[in-house]
Structure 1
C-alpha cells in the first residue's frame, strides 16, 4: 500500500482530467448558470418582462398552432374522440409543465431545458436536449408559417377575390415551387424581434387577444350548426386512434415552455416563470378542447380530411356566408403570426445560451447594445426557418417537431428528479407535488407519445440526432467553456 505522499508507479494508468468520459458528463453548477444570466459574448440581455408578458409569450407560442393548423389532420385519425386526444396531449404536457415550472423557478436562465440538463445530467445530454430544442423551436416556426399561408389565402379570397397561385403557396412535393407567404411571416416576426424583447412582447399581447377573440367567435357561430348526431359514433377508429392523434396534437402544446426561454429577461423570474407556464397551459387546454368539441359537433368528422383553413371552412358551411369565415381567417392570420413571433424568440434565446457555453459559434451570443437583443442570431435563425418553411411539406415538419419536443420534455422530467436528489436543499419557488411521481408520469407519457409516432418520423429524428452528435464531437466538446476551464 502506498503512503499518502507517495507517487503512483509510472506503469499505473491514469485518466486525464479532460478525458472523453469526463467531458461527456461534466456538469455546470446551478450557481454558475444563474450568475451568468443575461451575459453573452457581446453584451447583456435586459430584464424588462413582467409576469403578464411572460404568460402572453407562452400563450402566444402555443395557442393557435393545433387549432388553426393541425386539427384538420388529427380529426381523420380519431374522429369525434379528437376531444379526448386533446385532453391526452394536454395531460402529457401538464406533467412536463409542472417540471418546467419547478426548474424555471430554480434555474431562471435563457437556455430552458438545455440549461436544466447541463446542471443535472452533463454536457452531452445538455447538447442532445439543446439539439432537440433546435428541432422543436426552429422547425415548428416553419411548420406554423406554412399554415399561416392557408389562412392568408382564405382572407384574400374573401376580401378581394384573389387567391395566390399554388406554385407560390406550396413547397416542392406539394404541387408548388416556393411557399412565399410562409417566408414573409417569418421575416415580419424577425423585424419585430430586432426591435427588442419588450416591444415584441407588447405586439404579441395584442395578437393574443385577437386570437382568443377569434376562437370565441368560432365557438359562438359553430355552435349554431351543432349536430349531436356527429357524436353518435364517438370512437369509430378504436382506442388506439386517440394515442395516434394525441401524439400529433402534442404539437399544439409546443410553446408553453416559451416563457422559460425568457428567464434572463424576466423582471422577477423565480416568482413569475412558474406562474406564467402553468397559467398559459390551463388557458390553452381549455380553449383547445372547447373549439375541438364545437368543430366536430358542427361538421361530420369525415369531412375534415384534406381541408385547408378548417375552422374558416366550418364557419362558411354553418352560416352559408363567406363573411364569417373571412373574419375568422383575418383573426387566424394575426394569431398564427404571434406563434411564429414567440417561438422564433425562444429559438434565438436557446442558441444564445448555447453560444455562451461555446457549444455553438459565438456569433449567436452577440447582443446589440442598442436594443438588448441578439441581432445576428435573430437574422440567421429567421432566414433558416423562413427558407425551411418555404421548401418542406407541413406534415413532415409537424411530426419531426413533435418527437424532438417529446424527447426534450422527457429529459426535463428526469432533470427534476436528479436535481431533487443532488441538491435537495436548494431554494425552489415552485415544487412539483407528490415528489417524483408526477415527473415520472411525465416521462412515461412522453415516451408513450413518442412510441405512437411513425417509423419514418423516428428515422428523421435519428438522422437529426446523428448530425447533432457529429457536430458536438467535432466542434462543441473541445471548445466548450467547461473544457477551457479544465485546461
Structure 2
C-alpha cells in the first residue's frame, strides 16, 4: 500500500498528514477492507469489480465502472509513476530534480519522453508475460521497496543523531487538522488513492478456516502495518527536510538525497545510482501489479459485450489479456506525451508535471469506486440468501456503515480533485488544470459509450449467464 510516488505528495502537506493518515485508516481503510472482503469471498469469479457492478446495476453501469477502474492504471503508469522515475534519475544521477536535459525545455521534454516510454513499455511487457512472472515481479518489487525504505530509515537515524536534521520538529499543534481546502484537495485524495486495492485479491475468504473471525483480523493487521510504515516514513521526511524543500513530486527522493550526505562522497554517489535503479524497479512493480489485475477485469468486461471482442483476447502462450495489455501501454504513452508537452510549454519543472498527472490519476480512480461501493449495498438487498463465507457484522446497519463511510471519502476526493481550491493549483493555473482533468474524463466517457455499443453489436461476443440460487455459492458460465 505504500506508494513511493505519492510519499512526497502526502508529506508536503505537513504534520497534519499524519493525523489524517490515522483518521482515514479507521474510517475509510477498515470499512473498505471489510466491504471488499465480503464481496470478494462471495462473488469470486474472474472479472471482479465488473461482475459485482453488473449484478448490482446492469451492463451499462458496470461498463463505466470497469472503464474507470481499468484506465486509471495506465494513466497512473504513464503519469505519476513515470514522472517519479524521471525525477529519481534527475536527482540521483544528475544532482537535482530541476536539471534540464540539454539545457532547454524542448530537449528536456524529448529525453523525458524517451525515459518514460522505456519505463511504460517495460512495465507493460511484464504484464504481458505469464501471471506467474507477474507475481514474481510483485514479490521482488516489494523486496526492493522494503530495502529502499530500510536503507532510508537507517541513514535518517544517523542523520538525526549526527545533529544534521533541519526539518520540521513536530509538535502537537502541527498535528491538529487545519486548512480545510488543503485537507480535501490534497491530503484526503492522495491517502484514499494509496489505501485502495483490497479487491485485487478476490476470494480470500474461501481459504480461511473461520472467515467471520479471520477477515476482520487480517484487515486490521494490514491496516496497522500500513499506517505504521507510512507514518514512520512521512515523519522521517518531515524531520529531514525543511518546509521549502518539501515537494509533492520529490519529497521522498529529496529526503533520501539529503540523509545520504552522512556518507562519504563517493559512497553517497554510488548509493544514489543504486537507489535510482531501485526506485524505478519498485515503481514498475507497483504499476505492473495493478495493470495485471485491472487488465484482466476489463478483458472479462469485453468478453461480456461491453467492449469490442478483440479486447477480450487472451494470449495462448502467456494466458494474459494481451490486447488490453497493449492498449494499456498505448494509453499510458498518450497520457505521458500530453502531460509532458503541456508542461514543456508551461513552467517546465517536474513538480508542476507531477501535479498535472496526479490529478487525473486520482480522479479516475476515486470515480470508479463511486460505482463499486454502492454495488455492495445493492447486492446485499438484491441477493440476501447467497452463502457468504464472510459477512460484515452488524446486519444491514453494518452494511450501510461500511458503504457510506468509504463512499463519502470517494465522493469528497473526486469532487475536490476535480475542483480543488485556488491555492492548490496556483503553480499550474486554474484553466490549465481543469482542462487536464475534464478533457480526459470527457474522452473516457465517450470511449466507454462507443465501446459498449460496439460490443453489443458484435455477434461473436457472448452473454455471461449468472445462476444464483438461495443459499448457494455464486456461479457463472457463458451462454448465448
1:343 corresponds to which residue?
A: 290
8 A contact 1:169–1:180 mirrored in 2: no
Is residue 400 of structure 2 the alignment partner of residue 440 of structure 1? no
Q: Is the 8 Å Cα contact of residues 168 and 179 (structure 1) preserved in structure 2?
A: no
Whether 2:142 is the aligned partner of 1:208: answer yes
Pick from 174, 178, 188 the counterpart of residue 234 of structure 1.
174
Deviation at 1:145, TM superposition (A): 2.2
Secondary structure of the corresponding residue to residue 115 of structure 1: helix
Cα offsets for 1:52-77 (capped at 9, x unmatched): xxxxxxxxxx433xxx323333444x
Provide Cα deviations, 1:204-247, integer angstroms capped at 9, x if missing partner. Answer: 21111110121122123224425685324516992412333221
Contact 1:134 1:347 in 2 (8 A): yes
Distance 1:328 1:474 in 2: 47
- Checking the alignment, whether the CA contact within 8 Å between 2:144 and 2:282 is kept in structure 1 is yes
Q: Distance in 1 between matches of 2:449 and 2:312?
A: 22
Q: Which residue of 2 aligns with 1:191?
A: 125
SS in 2 for 1:452: helix
| Aligned pair partner of 1:151 in 74, 77, 88 | 88
Kindly tell me: are residues 439 and 405 of structure 1, through their superposed partners in 2, closer, same or farther at Cα, counting changes over 3 Å? same
**CA-to-partner distance for each residue in 1:383-438, whole Å, 9 max, x for gaps?**
33234334424323321222222222232221121111121121222222332221
Q: Which runs of 5+ in 1 are unaligned?
A: 1-61
Is 1:86 paired with 2:21?
A: yes
Partner of 2:363: 403
- CA drift of 1:119 comes to 0.9
Query: Aligned ranges for residues 236-385 of structure 1 at < 5 Å?
Result: 238-240=178-180, 241-244=182-185, 245-260=187-202, 270-271=206-207, 278=219, 282-305=224-247, 309-320=250-261, 321=263, 322-323=268-269, 325-385=272-332
- The counterpart of 2:442, out of the listed 463, 473, 479, is 463
With over 3 angstroms needed to count, the CA separation of the structure-2 counterparts of 1:284 and 1:425, relative to structure 1, is same
Residue 37 of structure 2: aligned partner: 101
126-135 or 272-281, which deviates more: 272-281
Deviation for aligned residue 1:329: 3.0
1:120 aligns with 2:56: yes
Count of residues in Structure 1 that have an aligned counterpart in Structure 2: 412
Say whether residues 1:424 and 2:384 are aligned partners: yes
Secondary structure of residue in 1 paired with 2:417: coil
Deviates more, 1:250-259 or 1:211-220: 250-259
**Which residue of 441, 447, 454 corresponds with 1:475?**
454
RMSD: 3.7
CA distance in 1, matches of 2:167, 2:114: 40
* Whole-Å separation in 1 of the counterparts to 2:307 and 2:118: 27
Counterpart Cα distance in 2 of 1:200 and 1:486: 31
Q: Who is 2:336 aligned against?
A: 389
CA contact 1:193–1:378 (8 Å) conserved in 2: yes
Change (3 A) 1:250 1:301: farther
Greater mean deviation of Cα atoms: 399-408 or 281-290: 281-290
CA contact (8 A) 2:156 2:240 kept: yes
Secondary structure at 1:179 match in 2: helix
1:36 matched to which residue of 2?
A: none
The whole-number CA distance in structure 1 between the counterparts of 2:11 and 2:462 is 47
Structure 2 unmatched runs, 5+: 340-352, 420-433, 466-477
2: CA distance between counterparts of 1:88 and 1:472? 40
Higher mean alpha-carbon deviation, 326-335 vs 210-219, is at 326-335
Matches of 1:343 and 1:370, distance apart in 2: 21
Q: Give the drift of 1:282.
A: 4.9
What is residue 412 of structure 1 aligned with on the other side? Answer: 372
Please give the secondary structure, in 2, of the residue aligned with 1:467. helix
Residues 15-42 of structure 1: CA deviation (Å, up to 9, x unaligned): xxxxxxxxxxxxxxxxxxxxxxxxxxxx
When residues 80 and 173 of structure 1 are mapped into structure 2, their CA distance, relative to the original with a 3 A threshold, is farther
